[in-house]
Structures are given as structure tokens and as C-alpha cells.
Amino acid sequence: MPANAARLLGKEGVKTVGDVIDLLPFRHEDRRQMQALAFQAGLLPTCHHVLITKTGNKFFGRAGVFEAVVRHATGLLGQQLTLKWWNMPFMSRVLAEGQELIVYGVIKDTKGRLSMAHPEYEIVKGGADDDAGQIHTGRITPIYRLKGAMTQKALRVAAWHVMQALPESFIEDLLPAPSEEGEFAGMSRSKALREVHFPSSMEKLEQARRYLALQEFYGYQLRVARRKRRVIESGGRRQAGTGELLRDFFNELPFQLTAAQQRCLDEIHRDMASGNPMNRLLHGDVGSGKTVVAFAAMLRAVESGRQAVLMAPTQILAEQHARNARKWLEPLGLRVALRTGSKREDGDGFELMRGKSSSAKPELVIGTHALLHDAELMHNTGIVVIDEQHKFGVAQRAKLIRKGDTPDVLVMTATPIPRTLTLTIYGDLEVSTIDQKPRDGVKIITKVRPKTKLKEAAKFLREQIEEGRQGYIVYALIDESEKLEAGAATKGHEEWSKLLAPCEVGLLHGRMSAEEKEEVMKRFRAGKLDALVSTTVIEVGIDVPNATVMFIHDAGRFGLAQLHQLRGRIGRGAHTSYCVLFVDDKDEENRQRLAIMEETSDGFQIAEEDLRRRGPGDVLGHAQSGQAPLLFGELLADTRLVRLARQLAERTLDEDPQLLRPALALFRDETVVAEKAQAMMQ
Ligand code: ADP
Ligand code: MG
């Protein structure tokens, strides 16, 4: 490596051969055929090999511009192009007539004069340190992210020399050897890294990216699979139960489980009866009936002499679950305790003073995050259920589970995860899917409407109310404070009270006390309120079957997944339901984006459309975004690699402990990947 390049890199902490290899290029420029391109104005950057024919500084008042006039280095084309650097007078000491440059930028046409402002450039001939042309031009050229005083050229020269000098065996494989045939035949980590630094073709570059992506997924899946095995090895308890409580429960239930609910429940009960701890996801679209399945799972633990715990993300939802549990389970002689930030009820209706507990422990405990701080909980926990698990962080979930002594764990969510992501987000869980709704016949009609149609909407809501139905009116200011949000809802409440008078309109927002919220929900559930103006506190879980109308203000501010969750509050009873998404009058963009909501109520379809629209780029950036957890892998596009990685990981765990250690080092905190993937879904 040339001494000056080494010195520059050393200053930035790039000292060893390994350091250089790890400085991966974040993109490549195809500089194989540049000379043939004429200068042409356009929107996309293009790359040219040019010769400087003239330079100079110009001044416009206080602003100055350094200009270099260039033509193609081959001289075959007579065109001129002016490179411009604003307020960088020192450029006159860097660039000079007679130098050859590679420039990369967008060409602008101003009345026939072509210019390129602040191009990326490199001096390839005539500069202070011009170097072998084969490194910088005439090839697919790596572009590195620069730190401090590093220059693109110095780094590239260093990488070139390292790659030239490096024996094949220096870089050891982290992946099991690929099969003789197939996509990765003949590939190795060493070859892949060489291709990534200095690709021999675009095809080889893509093959190398895929190999390194596989390696990343493998490192990740290895950790996930190992965690899963450890849970299993930690040993669970058999909770087979007697079946008595369940029989009574089902006798009393006003409906029969759907076939899908029954199948999922069987899977859960089978897990619980086995000697291994259950670690299962119950997945089902909004309104598919997860709660009753969870209760039946909890009853099995109670039958087996243990306590059952359920955690929900909001106080309103925890209260709703506790009420249902009491309605259904107290007749069976069970006690249901409620634990929220403001409440400790031990199931016999009396609120207990803090620190004082009743003599017998409640069989079922339902609560919010407050459960995480409950000291007396969990000595005898048979099952932990986490509802709307996507609302909890990975760490919170783990904390609740750790409180128990390897309890069975059931997490529930309605968030539709495209198949491409399940293995990443839920790689350590078994999955049961309720793929059928109890009231498949009930329709939800959705319309996207301009705000100007509010009056007509009000008229429609009034008609529904006259028929005995109820409605939600949602206000939200995404990313604003809870206080502002509450303000918007309060103002909305005044408006709607007038619009709908003399109907009763309630108000619900996050700044109200727990008692106030509960009182409002109670009145709404009992039908004493005809409409409820609310913030997104009602987003998850709320179940009032008589509500058939939902208006969402400023729907354009929401993601599709969240709108789907909100809309899930209606269509829960026997009546056709109606959802209106209000957008700004001229907001064509959102009208189009939200159109999918009019077309389908299928959460999966909506989620995939959401992802397609956002594109993988802005949800899980790659090397470009600096600290992405995955440099090469694209979670959405590389499904096949994710699956292959999982297979390889299982095989390594089974038969190749030697590979384990270096491959585990690929990820220090693999939860980042799961959290990111989960964030994509919200
Ligand atoms: P989610 O899956 O969204 O949590 P819930 O558990 O809140 O759904 O159930 C939605 C509604 O459907 C509730 O009112 C519940 O009592 C009812 N329900 C659940 N299962 C059935 C069933 N098998 N038949 C009829 N109604 C059901
Ligand atoms: Mg629910």
C-alpha cells in the first residue's frame, strides 16, 4: 500500500488489513464505458471521464463560484461542460487545466449551456497523487463512505492493494460450505468480499451481495434458533388439566368456537401438555376472536393448579379483558384480579390497599405494564399471555416472562406480518393463525372522502344512531404530544355535540384519569353514549359490537396498518358497518394511497400494499443509512435466503459447533433486527 494512503487511513483508525476489508463500499459506479456517453442534461447523475480546459473563480456579490470547463477526455466529442463549486474558492488550488477527472453528477441545461454543480470528482491524471488507471476507471468502481481526512482515492488504492496481496485463506468462511451446484457454487467469503470491493461484473457483484446477505441472515438465525433451543431445554411443566373448568366455560359461552379458533386452541393445549415450555404466537386479524382462545388457554393453567397472567398495552383494554373474564369466569368460582397503574383489584370487588393482599391468591391476573413491577406476582405462574404484543418492546416482553418460572407463553397480535418477515420477527415462536372470522358475513363499507363532506357524514351517522347503532369519531395528531391530541379531540367533541344534537356524544383521550376513561367506556358500552369522540386510545382491542360507524379525521396522517387496526373496532356485531376516512380536499396522493382500504378488509393484503408503497429502501436502509443492522440483506426481497439461512443455522446447531462461535459474533444484538422488522409493520 502506498505510504501516503496508509498514513491517511491510519489517522482515522483504519490500521489493519481487516479494517480495510471491513470498510465496505456503499455503492459502485459503472465506469467501464463512460467515454462513450455524451454530456446530456437529465435528472439522474451520470459519470464522465473529462479533461479540464480552463478554470477560474467568479464572484457575484458575496457569493463566489469556482468553475472548471471540461470536455471529454477522449476529445472525440466537441461538447463543453462547466463544473461549478459554490463558495469553495480553494478548489482553484485543487484543480488545474490539463488534469483528467472522473466526474459524477447531474447535468443541467441552461439555455444550451451545460453545467454540473458540486459533482463528485476524482483526479485521475495530472493530480498530486495520480495512480494506476486500472483502480479508478475502466471498471466497476467502489465508492466508499469517507471519514475525516480520508479521500476516495486513498481508500480505494488501499483496498486494491490489500485485496491484491491477500492470500485466499486469510478470510475464513463463516457459512457452511455451499453445495457443489446451485447459486453459491464456488463462492466463499473471501471471494465475495473481493467482488464487493472490486467487482468483476455486475452479476458477480449481485451474487456476492447475496452470499454476504445469506451470511448475515445466518448469523441472525443462528442466535434466534439457539435462543429457541435454550427455552426448550430449560424445561417446562406439563399442564394437562382436568378439563372440568373448560367444559363449564364452553357450556356457558354464548357462542361456539369457530373451526379456526378450535384448531389454534388445540395447538396451544398440546404445547401446554407437553414437557417443553410453550412459546407461541396467536395470530389473527382484528375481530377474529383471539381473546376467548386466550381465556381457554389460561383456564388450562388454572386447572393445573397455577396462576394465569394476561398483559394488555392499555388500561382500557385491560379493563375490558378483566370485565369479560369476570363475566365468564367468576360463575365458575374463579377470582380475576386487575392490576393497572392506578388499580389493584383482587377480584372480589374490593380495592386493596397497596401492599396488603387477600389471603387466597386470584387465579387470573389481568393488567397493563404495571404487572412488570408487581413484586408478589408470578411465583406460581403457569401461563403468561401478552395481548397486542407489537405494542410492547422486545425487552418488556422478556421481563414479564422472566418473572415467572419458565411459564408457558402465548403472545397475540393482529398485525399482519407478510410471510417474508415472519421468520425474522417470530423466528423463535411457533405460530397459530386464526384465519377465519366469527362473523364472516358482516361487511364493512369504507369510503375515502374530502373533509367537505362532513355534514353529509353527520347526517348518515345520525340515521345509524336512530336505528340504535353507535359510532366512533377519531381525532389524532400523529407525532404530536398527547396534550395537543387531547386538545384536538376536545374541540372535535364540541363540534360533533352540536352536529349530532340531541344525541349523546362522549369524549375519550389519553389525558383523562383512569376513572374518567373507564366511566366513559362504561357508558358507551351500555349504549348511553351514541357516539364517542376519541384519540387513538381506542386503537387496539376495544370491542363494542353495537358500534357500526367509524369516522377518522386526517386519515392521511395514518399508516395503512394503523387505519386497519382502528377500523377493526367496527364490524364486530351482526350489523353492516361503515368507515369514512376524511382527507384534505385536494389531497390526491392520500386518496390514492387509502384506496386499498376501500377495496379490502383483509389485513394481509393491506400490509403488503403498505410495504410495497413504502418500498424496502426507506424502512430498512442498507449500508447507506449508516447503522442499519443488515448491510447486505433485504428482509423483504431475500425471503429465500432467510429460509436457507434458517436451515443452515439449524444444521450448524445440530452438527457443527465449531462454526458457531465466529458466526455468533456476526450479531451482538440481534434484537435490533427483529425490532426493525417489527417497526416496518407499524
Ligand atoms: P380480536 O381477535 O380482535 O381480539 P375479540 O377476541 O375481541 O377479537 O373478539 C371479537 C368479538 O367476537 C368479541 O365480541 C367476541 O366475543 C366475539 N367472538 C369471538 N369468538 C366468537 C365466535 N366463535 N362466535 C361468535 N362471536 C365470537
Ligand atoms: Mg384483541
In this structure, the residue with its CA closest to atom 5 of ligand 1 is 289
Q: What integer pLDDT is reported at residue 546 of this predicted model?
A: 96
Q: What integer pLDDT is reported at residue 624 of this predicted model?
A: 36
Q: What integer pLDDT is reported at residue 167 of this predicted model?
A: 84
Give yes or no for residue 352 having a pLDDT over 60. Answer: no
Q: What is the mean predicted confidence (pLDDT) over 428-450? A: 88
Confidence of residue 307 (pLDDT cuts 50, 70, 90): very high
Measured CA to CA, the distance from residue 638 to residue 471 in angstroms comes to: 43
Distance of CA 387 from the midpoint of ligand 2 (Å): 7
Confidence of residue 73 (pLDDT cuts 50, 70, 90): confident
pLDDT in tens, 502-515: 999 999 998 888 88
Per-residue DSSP letters for 289-318? -HHHHHHHHHHHHHHTT-EEEEE-SSHHHH
Confidence of residue 200 (pLDDT cuts 50, 70, 90): very high
Q: What integer pLDDT is reported at residue 377 of this predicted model?
A: 66
Judge contact between 219 and 306, C-beta under 8 A: no
| 71 SS3 class | strand
Distance of CA 576 from the midpoint of ligand 2 (Å): 20
- In the structure grid, which three cell numbers stand for residue 524, read together? 358507551
pLDDT in tens, 242-275: 889 999 999 989 999 999 999 999 999 999 999 8
Q: Which ligand is nearest to the CA of 285?
A: 1
Ligand 1 pocket, residue 25 CB under 6 Å: no
Distance of CA 284 from the midpoint of ligand 1 (Å): 11
Q: 167-176, 282-291, 568-577: which has the minimum mean pLDDT?
A: 167-176
Atom of ligand 1 nearest to the CA of 573: 14
Ligand 1 pocket, residue 327 CB under 6 Å: no
Ligand 1 pocket, residue 471 CB under 6 Å: no
Q: What integer pLDDT is reported at residue 175 of this predicted model?
A: 86
Q: What integer pLDDT is reported at residue 331 of this predicted model?
A: 92
Ion ligand 2 — residues with CB < 5 Å: 541
Map out the domains of the chain with their CATH numbers: 3-170 (2.40.50.140), 244-274+278-434 (3.40.50.300), 444-599 (3.40.50.300)
In this structure, the residue with its CA closest to atom 27 of ligand 1 is 438
Q: What integer pLDDT is reported at residue 426 of this predicted model?
A: 80
Q: 67-76, 284-293, 472-481, 572-581: which has the minimum mean pLDDT?
A: 472-481
Ligand 1 pocket, residue 603 CB under 6 Å: no
Q: What is the mean predicted confidence (pLDDT) over 214-226? A: 90
Give yes or no for residue 319 having a pLDDT over 90. Answer: yes
Q: What integer pLDDT is reported at residue 608 of this predicted model?
A: 79
Judge contact between 239 and 382, C-beta under 8 A: yes
Identity of the residue numbered 176: P
Q: Which of 261, 538, 543 to mutate to test the pocket of ligand 1 (most atoms within 8 A of CB)?
A: 543
Per-residue DSSP letters for 210-268? HHHHHHHHHHHHHHHHHHHHHHHHT--------SHHHHHHHHHSSSPPPHHHHHHHHHH
Q: What is the DSSP letter of 370?
A: G
Task: Give me the half-sphere count of Cα atoms (radius 13 Å) on the Cβ side of residue 216.
Answer: 20
Q: What integer pLDDT is reported at residue 656 of this predicted model?
A: 82
Q: What integer pLDDT is reported at residue 400 of this predicted model?
A: 77
Q: Is 557 exposed, middle or buried (0-12, 13-18, 19+ CB in 10 A)?
A: middle
- Specify which of 54-68, 455-469, 618-632, 658-672 reaches the highest per-range mean pLDDT: 455-469
Q: What is the mean predicted confidence (pLDDT) over 162-176? A: 84
β-pairing, 27-30 with 140-143?
antiparallel
Measured CA to CA, the distance from residue 136 to residue 124 in angstroms comes to: 8
Confidence of residue 493 (pLDDT cuts 50, 70, 90): very high
Confidence of residue 170 (pLDDT cuts 50, 70, 90): confident
Ligand 1 pocket, residue 414 CB under 6 Å: yes
Ligand 1 pocket, residue 257 CB under 6 Å: yes
Ligand 1 pocket, residue 362 CB under 6 Å: no
Give yes or no for residue 672 having a pLDDT over 80. Answer: no
Q: Which ligand is nearest to the CA of 439?
A: 1
Q: What integer pLDDT is reported at residue 479 of this predicted model?
A: 53
In this structure, the residue with its CA closest to atom 23 of ligand 1 is 257
Q: What integer pLDDT is reported at residue 59 of this predicted model?
A: 86
Q: What is the mean predicted confidence (pLDDT) over 132-159? A: 80
Ligand 1 pocket, residue 573 CB under 6 Å: no
Q: What integer pLDDT is reported at residue 278 of this predicted model?
A: 93
Q: What integer pLDDT is reported at residue 615 of this predicted model?
A: 56
Q: What is the mean predicted confidence (pLDDT) over 281-293? A: 92
Ligand 1 pocket, residue 572 CB under 6 Å: yes
Distance of CA 600 from the midpoint of ligand 1 (Å): 20
pLDDT in tens, 618-670: 433 333 333 456 778 777 778 889 889 999 999 999 988 788 887 787 777 77
For 125, 285, 298, 303, the CA distances from 248, given in Å and listed in that order, are: 87, 27, 14, 12
- In the structure grid, which three cell numbers stand for residue 468, read together? 340504535
Q: What integer pLDDT is reported at residue 250 of this predicted model?
A: 95
Q: Which ligand is nearest to the CA of 540?
A: 2
Tell me the average pLDDT of the chain. 85
Confidence of residue 2 (pLDDT cuts 50, 70, 90): low
Q: What is the mean predicted confidence (pLDDT) over 278-297? A: 93
Identify the CA nearest to 237 among candidates 201, 192, 194, 274.
274
